Amino acid sequence: MRIAELSRRSGIAVPTIKYYLREGLLPPGELTSPNQASYDEHHLHRLRLIRALTDLAQVPVAGVRVVLEVLDSDTMSLHARIGTVHRAISPSRRLTASDDARTAAADQVRELIERRDWQVEPDAPAIGTLVETIAVLRTLGQDHLLGTLDSYAEAVERFTELEVAAVTSRTDPDQIAESVVIGTILGETLISALRLLAQENNSARQLGQNTRSKRRSEGTRRRA
């Protein structure tokens, strides 16, 4: 198929497809002549995957490129793929917390990892996020949200079990790789949406209509 049909079938504008080609997200079509290329179902699937990552999972284009390279690699182990994907989807954070808050948080995270006997690289990006988040929560006076950190850790382990179960139902290694990668990324979108719903449900049932706060500051104003 030519680019016009690819555009029609994917719902993505031709200039955008060309952009993805330029950015190396989409492999070039097979050239049948200097100005004619043909695309196939792979390209269509790729486009859908790209939009899933950008639209649903908010992965930036540069990250999508890395993810796709991981899927295309024929030498990476699954473990290496996961690591690379984790790095690709972890935004480079600006440090927000104070140094000693961070040090304390780092201790807490180290202990948590030991307690749960998690085998993770000491420079895994998620550790940095975790440390920074805990440090900031402390600084904001929200330590109490951390009392249940271990229970949270226990709960997320459940997710990985579910994911492993789902993924090992596939047999083709390529399929497994794609499942793991998509599961990692879109799984987060899924979990996050479910969590918001569970939260809304809980709020509707328990926190009710009548808990309001009296104020002391007069709030902020939007610019004119």
Partner DNA sequence: GTTTATGGATACTGATACTATCCATGACGA
Partner DNA sequence: TCGTCATGGATAGTATCAGTATCCATAAAC
Contact set for DNA, span 57-76 (CB under 7 A): 60-62
* Identity of the residue numbered 185: I
- The closest alpha carbon to 30, from 3, 12, 8, belongs to 3
Residue written as tokens 């961070």?
A: 102
Answer yes or no: are the C-beta atoms of 87 and 70 closer than 8 Å: no
| Cβ at position 7, least distance to its own copies in Å | 15
**Stretch of 25-33, 108-116, 137-145, 209-217 contacting DNA, by CB under 7 A:** 25-33
Counting contacts by CB under 7 A, is residue 2 touching DNA?
Answer: yes
Cβ 216 to DNA, closest distance in Å? 21
15 counts as binding DNA under rule CB under 7 A: yes
Question: Residue 22 has which token pair?
Answer: 């330029």
Interface residue with DNA, options 9, 27, 44, 54 (CB under 7 A) = 54
Beta-bridge partner residues of 31: 37
Contact partner at residue 79 from DNA, its own copies, none, CB < 5 to 8 Å by partner kind? its own copies
User: Under DSSP, is residue 122 helix (H, G, I), strand (E, B) or coil?
Assistant: coil
* Of 71, 69, 20, 74, nearest in space to 44 by CA: 20
Residue of 43, 90, 38, 93 whose CA lies nearest to 68:
43
Q: Is 95 in the site for DNA (CB under 7 A)?
A: no
Residue 37 near DNA by CB under 7 A: yes
Number of residues binding to DNA, judged by CB under 7 A = 27
CB of 160 to its own copies, least distance (A): 4
> Cα separation of 217 and 195, whole Å?
31
Beta bridge pairs of residue 36: 33
- C-beta of 32: minimal distance to DNA in Å? 6
Which residues of the chain form contacts with DNA (CB under 7 A)? Answer: 2-5, 13-16, 18-19, 21-22, 28-29, 31-39, 54, 60-62
